[in-house]
Amino acid sequence: MTADARADEENNMLEIKGLKVKLEDEDKQILKGVDLTVGAGKVHAIMGPNGSGKSTLSYVLSGRDGYEVTEGSATLGGEDLLELEAEERAALGLFLAFQYPVEIPGVGNMTFLRTAVNAQRKARGEEEMSAADFLKVIRAKAKTLKIDADMLKRPVNVGFSGGEKKRNEILQMAMLEPKMCILDETDSGLDVDAMKLVSEGVNALRDAGRGFLVITHYQRLLDHIKPDVVHIMADGRIVKTGGPELALEVENNGYADILAEMA
């Protein structure tokens, strides 16, 4: 391992230990002790039936309100994520690709992204990106994702098709260059071509330093984004971990067998 790789390994590792989470306003436990470590450069997939807590995990990691962590920890590169505001987690290098990207009328896509990029840079004590540099970079990245100039100018996600919204998420990921990317059901609502395009966008961002946590219901996304490790989540816990073959098993037999095995 090179010195750089070792540094990435330490800086970029996502470690979740015994994470228990309940809803803030309700006495409902959703995560019941999640243990998960995603190393630098690795792609981990989480599969699981509806209501198993997959999306909650992504929200809790990225700092959404409405949840209460009752036990456990989550760190990125050794920093305690749970102590930070959502925007601080983003500046630290955590990125959540939303299952349902939010429409924000009146705010241009490009303005939004430049605000985000420069807010993160500022938070890290880095120099802000000039308008000209930003334009150059975003145009190049947009092109590979087949995002045209019009989509960059339009208000964030307003009137975008399902595929456009997801491509826009990947564009944001490409511009923000996070350490750890969480993809929450990025394949939902995508046709085959759109899924391919989105997957290519994700694959282009895979490198030795960047980790991925891919949440999905279906194996088909994992045909395009090849995972190193696959986890099965059920009832707020990770119940099984394996290699890519585990995803195929789910695809062929559903979750029932695995869950029965656990019971």
**Does the protein bind another protein through residue 135 (CB under 8 A)?**
no
**Does the protein bind another protein through residue 155 (CB under 8 A)?**
yes
CB nearer to another protein: give 31 or 96. Answer: 96
**Does the protein bind another protein through residue 137 (CB under 8 A)?**
no
**Does the protein bind another protein through residue 81 (CB under 8 A)?**
no
The stretch among 44-52, 113-121, 229-237, 243-251 that binds another protein (CB under 8 A) is: 113-121
CB nearer to another protein: give 77 or 227. Answer: 77
Q: Using the rule CB under 8 A, which residue among 7, 69, 86, 248 binds another protein? A: 86
Do the bridges between strand 211-215 and strand 43-47 make them parallel or antiparallel, or are there none, so unpaired? Answer: parallel
CB nearer to another protein: give 178 or 227. Answer: 178
CB nearer to another protein: give 41 or 101. Answer: 101
- Name the minimum Å distance from CB 95 to another protein: 8
CB nearer to another protein: give 55 or 219. Answer: 55
Q: Using the rule CB under 8 A, which residue among 40, 60, 76, 96 binds another protein? A: 96
What is the C-alpha to C-alpha distance for residues 66 and 154, in angstroms, rounded to an integer?
A: 31
Q: Using the rule CB under 8 A, which residue among 6, 10, 18, 105 binds another protein? A: 105
* Interacting residues with another protein (CB under 8 A): 62-65, 85-87, 89-91, 95-96, 98, 101-107, 112-113, 115-117, 119-120, 123, 155, 172, 176
